[in-house]
Structure 1
Amino acid sequence: GISPLSDCDYVEVLYWNNSGATWRRNKQWLNHTVGCCKWQGLRCNRDGRITAVELGREKGFTGVLPAAIARLSELEKLTLHRTSLSGTLPPELGAGGSLRNLRTLRVGRSKLSGTLPAGLFTIPELDELYLKRTRLSGTLPREIGGLSEMRELELDEARLSGTLPQQLANLLKLRKLGIKENRFRGYLPDNLHYFMEKCSITERKELHSPSPPPAPPYRPWSAPSPPAPSPPAVVPPYR
């Protein structure tokens, strides 16, 4: 019978689909004698399952991310930032429970475009999402509030728009939120100010403009004003 496809088969698609022959770091790739756990940029667990694909800063990496990457069920880290990655993120990312172990996704500083796949916001362990300096567009869905492990969410300098979902305030472990240089409008979610001292936030002026007035549960974000001095208990008579 036909042997089932392995992690090595799925990751090999990257080589053929994304110009692997031009990568600076392609040592041992396609050498099935040593096994794909020895291929440069990959890491595996004790069971021989791929847990990391680290090809960030690989100038020769071009083209669209293939859907086959979503079949790496033990993958914890995928870094393709500072490459010529283009096209859209495949809708298979996170769909149907795939990539349930993924913790880090770094695909910023690339030529990515299109909208964010809905499945991305259902990956329970995701704690770092780096989408900075891309051509990604569309809105942030309220499902982002389900990413309870999220610590770093970097969306700076993309083309995202709409209002920021109130559910962002559910990300209680968030320590870095980058949203500047997008097309967001409105106000930061009301509860964000409770942990802003622990969370570094980059923002745009539109998000804390004094007009129009915010409607509950939103409030404009601005630095806290010093308390007004209390009036004296007795007003002295004028002379």
Structure 2
Amino acid sequence: MKILGAGSLHLIYALLVLLHMQTSIGSNSTTTDDGVKCIKSERQALLTFKQGLVDEHGRLSSWSSEEEKKNCCEWEGVQCSNITGHITMLNLTMYPYNRGFILRESIGSLNKIHHLDLSSCNLSGSLPSQLANLTNLQYLDLSYNNFNSVKNLEWLSRLSLLQYLGLSEIDLSKVNNDWLQVIDKLPHLTNLSLYRCNLRDVIPQYFPIINTSSTSLVHLHLGSNNLTASTFQWLFNFSNSLVSLDLSSNQFRGPIPETFSCMTLLEELFFSNNQLERGIPKSFGNLCKLRYLYLYHNHLDGMLLELIGNLSGCLQLSLEIAFQSGFGTYLLG
């Protein structure tokens, strides 16, 4: 499925891609002149969803139950399948001024949805447990909203098809290490973004028993939390899959572990704004795919160019792009 609304994580946007296309429509629909049909139950779900929003600029005025506006396939930001009439996309990218909360009744009824992106929607309240009913979800992003502090993430384990999960800037300080247990139950997860979630130190005795099927993480964003070196033991379970790893602005101290050299697929490693010491392990010279290495604002010795120059192997060649882009030429320390 094509993922829409890509770009900076700080862009204000809201994107929903709704409801798996089914083979039959039934009588519960409204037919337009060109044959496109709007499913009544889906129209009602959108109207209920709208009730939870404060549309200050009237940008969703076409969303109405009035007779002349009943065809939800013609609503602003809505697209339907020309074959089945089911809603396939709801794009609120152009509506950054909306705010409100998630109505549990409307969200829980959209049980065919594959892609749900409500990031940066200025939503508040608690995360509805009804999200657990969306068992077909492959993409879920609730980042950058004003949700209450979360106490339980167990409901996420029911979304076993998830490939992307974004919970950035949601306070997870009260879930302790439960998030580790949840991640272990999402065998298809490739992208995990937990930026600035108040994650605390990962306690080794609470590590889940990693299943071989759950070591599929490719992109992992754990920046701006309170994690320490005990997190490394858990991270090394993904040595054979990680391509991008962001550990910036945490509480990492001491030398960079030699074990990172086992992450041979790494292309991006963000370690800036920590308290790392000494230098770059010589074994990093074998990270042939590493293109971006962010180490500024640490306590490493010497200049980055000098540190890289002391490494053997193929790393110097792969990092040329980073140098040319202006990265990695700052004094470390």
Inter-partner Cα distance in structure 1 for 2:211 and 2:254 = 21
Inter-partner Cα distance in structure 2 for 1:111 and 1:83 = 9
Decide which of 179, 190, 215 is 2:222's aligned counterpart. 179
Compared CA separation, residues 191 and 135, structure 1 to 2 (3 A): closer
Q: Is the 8 A contact 2:226 2:251 kept in 1?
A: no
Q: Find out whether 1:155 has 2:211 as its counterpart.
A: no
Q: Specify the alignment match of 1:146 in structure 2.
A: 185
Q: Is the 8 A contact 2:168 2:194 kept in 1?
A: yes
**Displacement after TM superposition at 1:76 (Å):** 1.4
Q: Is the 8 A contact 2:121 2:145 kept in 1?
A: yes
Q: Which runs of 5+ in 1 are unaligned?
A: 212-219, 228-239
Q: Specify the alignment match of 2:137 in structure 1.
A: 102
Q: Find out whether 1:226 has 2:265 as its counterpart.
A: no
Q: Find out whether 1:18 has 2:62 as its counterpart.
A: no
Inter-partner Cα distance in structure 2 for 1:88 and 1:71 = 18
Normalization by structure 1: what TM-score? 0.72
Q: Is the 8 A contact 2:227 2:252 kept in 1?
A: no
**Displacement after TM superposition at 1:155 (Å):** 0.8
Q: Specify the alignment match of 1:67 in structure 2.
A: 104
Q: Is the 8 A contact 1:145 1:169 kept in 2?
A: no
**Displacement after TM superposition at 1:169 (Å):** 7.3
Q: Secondary structure at the match of 1:37?
A: helix
Q: Which has the higher helix share?
A: 2
Q: Is the 8 A contact 2:224 2:250 kept in 1?
A: no
Q: Is the 8 A contact 2:157 2:182 kept in 1?
A: yes
Identity of aligned residues (%): 21
Compared CA separation, residues 208 and 136, structure 1 to 2 (3 A): closer
Q: Deviations over 1:178-207 (max 9, x none)?
A: 0111233422313222333xx211115767
Q: Is the 8 A contact 1:73 1:100 kept in 2?
A: yes
Q: Find out whether 1:86 has 2:133 as its counterpart.
A: no
Q: Specify the alignment match of 1:192 in structure 2.
A: 238
Q: Deviations over 1:128-185 (max 9, x none)?
A: 1122233444331413222222221111112233528444975443221101112334
Q: Secondary structure at the match of 1:125?
A: coil
Inter-partner Cα distance in structure 2 for 1:74 and 1:16 = 21
Decide which of 113, 118, 123 is 2:159's aligned counterpart. 123
Q: Deviations over 1:93-118 (max 9, x none)?
A: 11xxx212212222212222321542
Compared CA separation, residues 154 and 70, structure 1 to 2 (3 A): same
Compared CA separation, residues 204 and 99, structure 1 to 2 (3 A): same
Decide which of 55, 59, 71 is 1:35's aligned counterpart. 71
Report the RMSD for the aligned CA atoms in angstroms: 3.2
Q: Specify the alignment match of 1:48 in structure 2.
A: 85
**Displacement after TM superposition at 1:29 (Å):** 1.0
Compared CA separation, residues 122 and 81, structure 1 to 2 (3 A): same
Q: Which runs of 5+ in 2 are unaligned?
A: 1-27, 29-39, 262-280, 284-333
Q: Is the 8 A contact 1:144 1:168 kept in 2?
A: no
Q: Secondary structure at the match of 2:182?
A: helix
Q: Secondary structure at the match of 2:184?
A: helix
Q: Specify the alignment match of 2:24 in structure 1.
A: none
Count of aligned pairs between the two proteins:
211
Q: Deviations over 1:45-98 (max 9, x none)?
A: 44333344433563322222111212101111222222211122101111xxx2
